[in-house]
């Protein structure tokens, strides 16, 4: 797929006009002459919308590039790593040149260990890793191929995260929330489940559903308590 080179992040300081042209559809609700750039970059809904578009249409490379660009401009290191990881996973080494060019343009905003992980992947020396913000992962976390599998009565069940994303793709959001809620109670340490469910609560403005789950998780050793607390403050505002 041919891509407009102007969409690629170069690592050089860009003015507001360039940022808007790179991510024009994302900023459509703003008048760029009334809202300063820092105000727009603080809008969590923009990143959520980009991630949601990627879960629905993973092979839309333009959306991946917009997500990478947005995370780069925000200096969100872990979000940027996730955006790159998802982008590389879709390309599957078939677009190595654009992968290397993208990586070179944004690597200065990555943590050193994350930079090295992606570099090793691009050099075919390691598997592609992911963090809790990745949305197209295959359950591979860290530097080893660890895939969590759930068995019931001797039969393999569907990965709840994959199942929930399938529901989301067909706009069955209540079903997606139920799958994630059940899975989090059973597998509370899997951070990607929390991230996906919190996005759904926010996107659907499901305050009631959120508070029920928020209270239920207080009895568990919740590894994402800070994120749940932040969402609680968001709904209070």
Q: Return the higher-pLDDT residue of 26 and 203.
A: 203
3, part of any domain = no
Q: Over the stretch 37-57, which tens digit does the pLDDT of each residue have?
A: 444 555 666 887 888 888 888
Mean pLDDT of 105-119: 94
pTM equals: 0.52
- The DSSP-derived string for 116-175 is HHHHHHHTTSSPPP--TT-SS--S--TTS------EETTEEPPPHHHHHHHHHHTT-HHH
Q: Which residue has the tokens 């507001």?
A: 16
Residues 116, 165 within the same domain: no
Residue 127 in any domain: the answer is: no
Neighbours of 115 (CB within 10 A): 18
Range with the poorest average pLDDT among 40-49, 127-136, 198-207: 40-49
85 shares a domain with 171:
no
107 and 167 share a domain?
no
How far is residue 98 from each of residues 130, 166, 176, measured CA to CA in Å? 20, 28, 34
Mean pLDDT comparison of 3-17, 86-100, 124-138, 200-214, highest-scoring range = 200-214
Q: Are residues 116 and 170 in the same domain?
A: no
pLDDT tens digit sequence for 150-171: 333 333 456 888 888 888 878 8
Do residue 93 and residue 174 come from a single domain? no
pLDDT band at 200; cut points 50, 70, 90: very high
Same domain, residue pair 116 and 194: no
| Average pLDDT over all residues of the chain | 75
CATH no. for residue 167?
1.25.40
| Residue at 210 is within a domain | yes
Q: Tell me the mean pLDDT in the region 182-199.
A: 87
Q: Is residue 150 part of a domain?
A: no
- Mean pLDDT along residues 195-221: 91
pLDDT at 84 over 90: yes
User: Residue range 131-144: average pLDDT?
Assistant: 59
Supply the range of the domain harboring residue 211. Answer: 158-236
């Amino acid at each position: 797929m041919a891509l407009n080179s102007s969409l690629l992040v170069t690592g050089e300081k860009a003015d507001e006009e360039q940022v808007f042209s790179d991510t024009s559809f994302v900023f459509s609700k703003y008048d760029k002459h009334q809202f300063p750039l820092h105000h727009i970059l603080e809008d969590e809904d923009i990143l959520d919308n980009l991630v949601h578009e990627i879960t629905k249409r993973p092979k839309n490379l333009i959306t991946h590039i917009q997500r990478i660009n947005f995370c780069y401009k925000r200096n969100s290191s872990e979000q940027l790593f996730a955006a790159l990881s998802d982008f590389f996973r879709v390309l599957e080494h078939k677009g190595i040149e654009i992968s290397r060019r993208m990586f070179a343009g944004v690597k200065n905003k990555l943590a050193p260990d994350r930079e090295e992980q992606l570099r090793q992947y691009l050099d075919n020396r390691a598997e592609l890793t992911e963090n809790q913000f990745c949305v197209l992962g295959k359950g591979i976390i860290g530097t080893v191929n660890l895939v969590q599998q759930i068995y019931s009565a001797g039969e393999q069940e569907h990965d709840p995260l994959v199942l929930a994303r399938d529901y989301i793709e067909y706009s069955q959001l209540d079903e997606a929330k139920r799958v994630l809620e059940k899975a989090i109670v059973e597998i509370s340490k899997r951070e990607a489940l929390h991230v996906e469910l919190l996005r759904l609560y926010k996107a659907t403005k499901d305050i009631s559903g959120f508070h029920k789950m928020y209270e239920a998780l207080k009895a568990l050793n919740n590894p994402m308590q800070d994120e749940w607390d932040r969402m609680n403050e968001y709904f209070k505002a």
